[in-house]
Amino acid sequence: MPRTARPTIALTVGLAAVLLAGCTDNAGTDQQGSAAAGATPARAQAGGNPSPTAAPPPTGPYVALGDSYTAGMKLPPQVGEPGACYRSGANYPSLVAKELSLAAGQFKDVSCSGARTGDLTGPQKVADGTNPAQLDALTADTRLVTLGIGGNDAGFMEVVTECAKANLVDIVKGVITDSADRISESPCRDHYAAGSGTDDVQRKVEAAGDRIGQVLQDVKKRSPKARVYVIGYPGLLPADPANCLPVLGNAVAASDLGFLVEKQQQLNGMLKKRAEAAGAVFVDLAGPSAGHDMCAGEDKRWVEPPLPAQGLVPIHPNAKGQEAVSGVVLKAIRG
């Protein structure tokens, strides 16, 4: 039996247990490069001179829409109702509103942990009540909208959990056969691809894209004068899986970490494509968050690892991450 078998199994079991017990909402990320500003305009100019009369940056009224990565799940102070939306008064929308000097009546955050695109147009039931349809917060007077959603539709947290489980099974098989070699080089990728050209995760991402495209059209109808920003997801994993060894050890095969990175890229790529098609601005967080993934040191990371710092949520942004995201969003808003 390999000397590292039992510690690796323990870490993998812990990873799967934490994900299954602690996170019911999902989020995805991306490691692809981006412009320094983190924003992609809806219509990139193909040559020519920039407009001499650029529109002034939007202010309020501002409405924030989204899931737990927007809400700031369990980050203090927790504000608003229902409480199980786990909406933070220090999330990036709140920090953006503060920086823009918006009065209380000029800012409305209706984001909610666990939200999917269907919860934008219909009520979302949570543990202690119901969050109204998020798009109902929009009015004809709304001038600024941020939308951060799509990870739950793509089932990304379930993918992370399944990868942990698949790798655990693979490790146990290796222990039983008294072999130090992994039974499969990429058990999670094998699980989702199953020999097909397009895996299940990619199909979910594409389906989520169709729904987000419809949502963005609805936003435009409800708030025709608003400038809309689609917020991508910050980096969850480093581009080089070897950088995760100090945090994850061998609990997840390097090739499966690479598979998760690919899926994150597809998710953020879909959000960018849908934002541009709808005339919105895509705010990329993958580039700015490089080096701040969950495998970075505690003083650098924007996203917590599977075993997070006390009181924080695994695989979710910490306070440092929310503050950093607010800076990227503000830079995009101000052009």
Q: Which residues are catalytic?
A: 68, 316
The phi and psi torsions of 62 (rounded to 5 degrees) equal -120, 130
What is the token pair recorded at 209? 């894209």
Residue 317 DSSP symbol: B
* Separation CA 41–CA 144 (nearest Å): 15
* Separation CA 157–CA 25 (nearest Å): 7
Could you give the count of Cα atoms lying within 13 Å of 110 in the half-sphere of its Cβ?
23
Estimate the crossing angle of helix 92-99 against helix 319-334, to 10 degrees: 50
* Separation CA 22–CA 236 (nearest Å): 17
What is the token pair recorded at 95? 């920090």
Exposure string of 283-306, with b = 16+ CB inside 10 Å and e = fewer, is bbbbbbbbebbbbbeeeebbbbbb
